[in-house]
Structure 1
Amino acid sequence: MQKLRLDKGISLSQLAAGAGIAKSNLSRLEQGNGNPTLDTIWRLAKQLGVPFGALVQPLSSSVGEKGVEVRLIEQGKGRPNVDAYWMSIAPNTTREAEAHAKGTQETIVLVSGSLEAGNTDNAACLTPGESVTFNADLPHVYKTQDAWATCLITIVYNKDVSE
């Protein structure tokens, strides 16, 4: 992350302020210490103008918090950039996700369980084999009932994720 920040000419203080995290926490993350939340990773990616996968790709395992586990499957290299993730969500879990970079779209294909997913004001109820595509540059939600849900997520970033 430090190399990305320095390549873009952004100071530690600027990135921390823009992402809404403490400078000391960002410093620890850049040193490979700490355990960032999914929202923190998204905010840092948005501030750096890079896909989420650029920050989780170096990790050898999944990242997660509060009943949600995400693993990068493939990080696209084309235009537009498309990343693929495997996500597992514990029973009775609601994850409210912040808006991603302008123009970002997300598609979820449910593999098992049941899942309510999509924009906060217009989420779809999915059963296995069903999918939903929504504008991820708006707040969105993932919500399970009494069983685990697993899904494949593809995120298509705007051609210029820094917009």
Structure 2
Amino acid sequence: MDQEQIHKKIGKNLQNIRKARSLSLDQVAELTGVSKAMLGQIERGDSNPTISILWKIVNGLHISFTSLIEDNVPKVTHIHLDEIEPFLEEDGQYRAFPIVPFEQKKQFEIYTVEIEVGCTHASEAHYDGVEEYILMISGALRLRIQDETYELKAGDAIHFSADQPHVYENIADEKTMYNTIICYPL
């Protein structure tokens, strides 16, 4: 699926969520901190929103990130990383591949993340009760949560409350790769 199709799907799903909740664009703008004009562009599929903008939307509406991109899911899904279009940040140096989309009955989603050498990516605080698990595959990661710093290497894992700003930094001399599981409160 190419990037343009993803953004059209995001727009359609955002509009469906907004209408299902009987919200106007003005109300969604107030809840999310994203301008009415930007929300309108996203719903029309005319915008290429950043991960940061999408996090503002999902935090403000208390929905999962992948609820903006999900389709009907078959009973068995065989996932090939090279066939998934990632969300790109930091000029493509930070790539988040949506591996397991959110399902209402499961309350979690899984991403494989790749961060190039020297890249740092700051994440907005998620809404209250959201938890994140990081399972390192390769490289080395410095994770800053508020005033605390943690360094992780291949094979390490960390779990934290993601309702506060956090920063990911590749501190290896190679690409760093990890899986992240984002759990939403019931």
Range with greater deviation from structure 2 (129-138 or 12-21): 12-21
Distance 2:177 2:104 in 1: 27
Distance 1:123 1:79, change over 3 A: farther
In the TM superposition, 1:140-155 aligns within 5 A as 140-145=166-171, 146-155=173-182
Deviation at residue 8 of structure 1 after TM alignment = 1.1
Relative to its length, the structure with more helix (as a share) is 2
Using CA pairs below 8 Å that are at least 6 residues apart, which structure has the higher relative contact order?
Answer: 1
Equivalent pair of 1:119/1:135 in contact (CA under 8 Å)? no
SS in 1 for 2:29: helix
Q: TM-score, normalised by structure 1?
A: 0.89
Q: Deviations over 1:54-107 (max 9, x none)?
A: 11336x621111021111111243555011111111211111111101111100
Once superposed, what is the RMSD of the aligned Cα atoms? Answer: 1.7
- List alignment gaps of at least 5 residues for structure 1: none
Q: Which runs of 4+ in 1 moved over 4 A?
A: none
AA aligned opposite 1:114? A
Structure 1 equivalent of residue 127 of structure 2: 101
2:89 aligns with one of 24, 46, 65 = 65
1:122 aligns with one of 122, 139, 148 = 148
Distance 1:74 1:80, change over 3 A: closer
Distance 2:49 2:180 in 1: 20
Equivalent pair of 2:97/2:111 in contact (CA under 8 Å)? yes
Deviation at residue 116 of structure 1 after TM alignment = 1.0
Number of residue pairs the alignment of both structures matches: 158
Equivalent pair of 2:137/2:155 in contact (CA under 8 Å)? yes
Distance 2:21 2:85 in 1: 27
Structure 1 equivalent of residue 160 of structure 2: 134
Q: Which has the larger radius of gyration?
A: 2
2:38 aligns with one of 25, 42, 45 = 25
Equivalent pair of 2:130/2:161 in contact (CA under 8 Å)? yes
Structure 1 equivalent of residue 114 of structure 2: 88
SS in 2 for 1:154: strand
